[in-house]
Chains A and B, each alone.
Chain A
Amino acid sequence: MTFPQKAFRPLLWLLPLGFLAVFYFYPLGNILGLSLGEGGLGAALSDVLGRASLRGVLGFTIWQALLSTLLTLVVGLPTAYLLARYRFPGKGLLRAVSGIPFVLPTLVVAAAFSALLGPRGWFNLGLMALFNLSSPPLNFVNTFAAILVAHVFYNTTIVIRMVGDFWARLNPRIEQAARALGASPGQTFRRVTLPLLAPALAAASLLVFIFDFTSFGVILVLGGPQFATLEVEIYYQTISLFNLPTAAVLSLLQLACTLGLTLLYARLSARLSRPIEVAAPERSARPLRGTARWLAGAWLAALMIFFALPLFGLAARSVTRLDAERQQRSAVETGLTLDYYAALGDNPESSIFFAPPLEAIGNSLGYASATVLLALTIGLPAAWLLARRSEALSSRVLDPLLMLPLGTSAVTLGLGFLITLDQPPLDLRASPLLVPLAHSLVALPFVVRSLAPALRSIRPRLRQAAAVLGAAPAEVLRHVDLPLVGRALLVSAVFAFTISLGEFGATALIARPEHPTIPVLIFRLLGRPGALNYGQALALSTILMSVAGAGMLAIERLRFAEVGEF
């Protein structure tokens, strides 16, 4: 009765498990082997941690992540409170706008901040023109502050959504009861609200910390050479120093940290689903009044500007000539231009390492399409196995296995590919499949998580109804299952496509120099002098931003009418 037939079942298991074995566990095993070296793990670790510079890297990784998380909470918590407890116009817009940065590729965000606050950005060129300065007055790029600001920009939405939604569901009567029992507003917050919020707060903070801990593109581009996190150091050790054993040990360290943190996060977020005293969000929200109204208004407006300005700045800068590159710096020639887009076909450096941007766009589209195919081919059977509730084994074994790539940093995945797939039997160095394989690994958790609920939502009744109406098993699949999961298939395809387009960490290590993807080329162009290079980087970033934004918008839209609703 149920498709697929029994004979196909082992094949269903084989695809996802085989894929993970060859392209996840085998590379990781090689990293482990490489880092063991001659002296074993202890010797390797003590060697790496014995070097002051690498100790510094580990310390900085933790320090910047802690500080970024703290700042994100400082910005996110008041906003979460306002969104949870008050009604005001533009609430939905703020929620949406705060979520945009989260879905953007890191290189786009880096380019956006560069276009706004960098030496060739709006602020500096504007100030130079206004005050007749000969050098950019604002020093933002290549500072610690740039890293922190970009991280806050990225992750505030996590706090707003996780804590805010949880907060909105807290019954306000509990707080009112505390007040009636004589607690001051401050005491009520400390003794009642905060303890109730604690699980959501902890989960959100941990998630933000994980993202900051593994941050790569932002630190590489905005932080500059003097700042290195573990992730960036692995990249340098691999690309610049060819010190693969050290890179491997660092990867192992990184892997241990992220997997541990991810496990902790899974624990915490599982606790969030536990029911608490809840109220309908509608009932607990009230309008803002008096002075609070103006304060809150100013705060929210500032926040809107913070989220939207870099993105507008990027798009606007990509079509604006701000010609301060010449000798007479005070006279900035300005004007609208499409030159940077028109020049996307040119190779600015005429070196083979600088493919023309159009070629990078072509590469990226090709890789992304291949990623969609690969990720769906592997994700569909996996989701099917997960969706069948009867098979407890599948959910207990397969589910965590499939989530592993999510808890592994992209650069680690890239390094694993680099040291594993360069020799027989798996010499994929020259294969155009190498990049899509890595991207599929990153996209797989998202694909499976989108497909499994949709597959699960098809009630067996519908299949039975089709069967008694004369539909053979294959026809049931075609007329019932496929149409019903069609939307989810589309969502996963868009996920895989968008993730592939924006992926930078793994791609930076494994993409062949003459076949760069969009993010890789943006990275290279941003590091070059010259107005055209810069303009091309911004134009590429703007295109990538639009595609990623459109993709995520499509996913939100498609998800609204999810099959499981009725």
Chain B
Amino acid sequence: MLTLLNVSKRYGDFALQDISFEVAAGQTVALLGPSGSGKSTLLNLVAGLEPPDSGQILWNGTDVAGLPPHQRHFGLMFQDFALFPHRDVSGNVAFGLEMQDWPKAELAARVAEMLELVGLPDFARRPVDRLSGGEQQRVALARALAPRPRLLMLDEPFGALDRGLRERLLADLAAILEASGQTSLYVTHDQEEAFAIADRIVLLRAGRVAQIGAPEELYRQPASEFVARFLGLDNIFSATALQEDGRTFLDTPFGRYASPDQAARGAVRVLFRPDAVEWGHAAEATLKGVLRQRQFRGNTVWAEVEVQGQRMRFEFASRAPLPALGQPVELSFDPREALQILHEDGHQHQQV
């Protein structure tokens, strides 16, 4: 189990501050955040490529500070793969095993096994500069996995690949990590990737932890406006929480609704979940607006509705008939489910 305790690192005018989280055995944790949030720096600290300024990095409770990178037995798969240009595919995969002085026969078997695992059984003798991006990525993965690292770190492993390939490989990677029970730390800026592969997500913002939790937790309960927006939840507006008859209400620009949080008071920021509305006026609360835009997304349809001068995006099943553009529409919802009060995130409001 990997444990980070209050790890800090200053880098010019950028700083990682007080990072603490755990990666339990067999788990995959995603370090998620926009570029410049400190993900890769954090990875370098864990790998031992750079020392932290303060804080502790523990493996199974033992501080690894004194261990140089080659003695940590942590695997690291680089964003640009960093394959050795002077070695062929099997030479690259074998490198870590050679460093551990594996006997020849076992080494060869392990290399073959790894190439099999990543779906490149016939590539052993290929020079690495003849490989496509996806193949290089697989070789890099095989190389990182081969020495059975205690922890596998992956730094934006799909960053250099196009979308279709990325989705296929992502599924493969998730299966491989699952099958081998590999403890891993996965760095990405793409929330869909993180959702797809991680058991838990550590969301970073400007060098600090913004939220830690399982993917559903983050999506269902974003801790702050930053988290919500980063996860693509953009229907956010200001409201006033007030009490009437012992119950709390939210005064919004487009109506007064029951508050999901009875303790809220005063000015608040409210998230309107995009997937919690229906056409018509079936439920207790309704909302009137004009349909401005729609986007067909296969199973779902995104509709942009202008309500009181503010545009909000909602998601509907694509089976439901859609009103024409420019038409007034009515939406109904359960305010306790659809509305969510966001906590202060201590930072300036930031559009992500």
Which residues in A have some Cβ–Cβ distance to B below 8 Å?
1, 459, 461-462, 464-472, 475, 479-480, 483-484, 563, 566
Contact = CB atoms under 8 A, between A and B. Distances in A.
Contacts of B48: 467-468
A1 B44 CA distance: 13
A461 B73 contact: no
17 contacts: A1-B49, A1-B69, A459-B82, A464-B76, A464-B82, A465-B82, A466-B70, A467-B68, A468-B47, A468-B49, A469-B95, A470-B71, A470-B73, A470-B100, A472-B68, A472-B99, A479-B84
Contact of B95 (A461, A464, A471, A472): A471
Contacts of B138: none
Contact of A468 (B72, B84, B100): B72
Interface string B68-111: 11111111101010111110000000011011100000000000
B147 interface: yes
A469 B80 contact: no
A19 to B, nearest CB: 31
Contacts of A464: 47, 49, 69, 76, 78, 82
Contacts of B72: 468
B95 A479 contact: yes
Contacts of A470: 70-71, 73, 96, 99-100, 147
B85 A461 contact: no
Given A471-B99, A472-B70, A484 B75 contact: no
Contact of B69 (A468, A480, A563, A566): A468
A486 to B, nearest CB: 8
Nearest to B128: A566
Nearest to B85: A566
B251 to A, nearest CB: 55
B75 A468 contact: yes
A510 B13 CA distance: 59
A484 B68 CA distance: 23
Given A464-B78, A464-B82, A484-B86, A1 B99 contact: no
B75 A469 contact: yes
Given A1-B68, A479-B95, A469 B78 contact: no
Nearest to B99: A470
B129 interface: yes
B9 interface: no
Nearest to B153: A468
B141 to A, nearest CB: 13
B39 interface: no
Contacts of A475: 70, 99
Contact of A461 (B70, B80, B96): B80
B49 A469 contact: no
Given A464-B78, A566-B129, A480 B84 contact: yes
A464 B70 CA distance: 9
- Give the size category of B's interface with A: 20 to 34
B307 to A, nearest CB: 50
Contact of B84 (A1, A462, A467): A462
A470 B100 CA distance: 7
Given A1-B49, A462-B84, A566-B129, A469 B68 contact: no
A475 to B, nearest CB: 6
Contacts of A459: 82
A2 to B, nearest CB: 11
A468 B96 CA distance: 8
B143 interface: yes
Contacts of A566: 85, 129
B82 A467 contact: no
Q: Closest 10 interchain pairs by CB?
A: A469-B96, A470-B99, A461-B82, A465-B82, A467-B69, A468-B76, A483-B86, A470-B70, A467-B70, A471-B99
A468 to B, nearest CB: 4
A459 B80 CA distance: 11
A31 B233 CA distance: 79
Contacts of B82: 459, 461-462, 464-465
Contact of B76 (A1, A465, A479): A465
Interface string B58-72: 000000000011111
A472 B144 CA distance: 16
A464 B80 CA distance: 12
Contacts of B47: 464, 468
Nearest to A563: B85
A140 B145 CA distance: 73
A475 B98 CA distance: 10
B143 A469 contact: yes
B70 A468 contact: yes
A480 to B, nearest CB: 7
A466 to B, nearest CB: 7
Contacts of B71: 470
A412 B147 CA distance: 59
A386 B85 CA distance: 23
Given A467-B68, A468-B69, A469-B75, 18 more contacts: A1-B49, A461-B78, A462-B82, A462-B84, A464-B49, A465-B84, A466-B95, A467-B69, A468-B47, A468-B48, A468-B76, A469-B147, A470-B100, A471-B99, A472-B99, A475-B70, A479-B95, A566-B85
Contacts of B129: 566
Interface in B255-273: none
Contacts of B78: 461, 464-465
A479 to B, nearest CB: 7
A480 B96 CA distance: 13
B133 to A, nearest CB: 13
A480 B83 CA distance: 11
Nearest to A458: B85
A31 B92 CA distance: 56
Interface in B166-206: none
B294 to A, nearest CB: 45
Contacts of A1: 49, 68-69
A471 B84 contact: no
A3 to B, nearest CB: 12
A479 B91 CA distance: 11
Contacts of B99: 466, 469-472, 475
Nearest to A475: B99
Q: Which of A465, A466, A471, A483 has the most CB of B within 10 A?
A: A465
Contacts of A563: 85
A111 to B, nearest CB: 42
B114 to A, nearest CB: 13
A467 B96 CA distance: 9
B144 to A, nearest CB: 8
B347 to A, nearest CB: 32
A468 B68 contact: no
A101 to B, nearest CB: 35
Interface string B136-158: 00000001100100000000000
Contacts of A483: 86
A468 B76 CA distance: 6
Contacts of B100: 470
B74 A468 contact: yes
A329 B143 CA distance: 78
A484 B48 CA distance: 24
A461 B85 CA distance: 12
A466 B82 CA distance: 9
B74 to A, nearest CB: 6
Nearest to A461: B82
B207 to A, nearest CB: 22
Contacts of A472: 68, 70, 99
Nearest to A487: B86
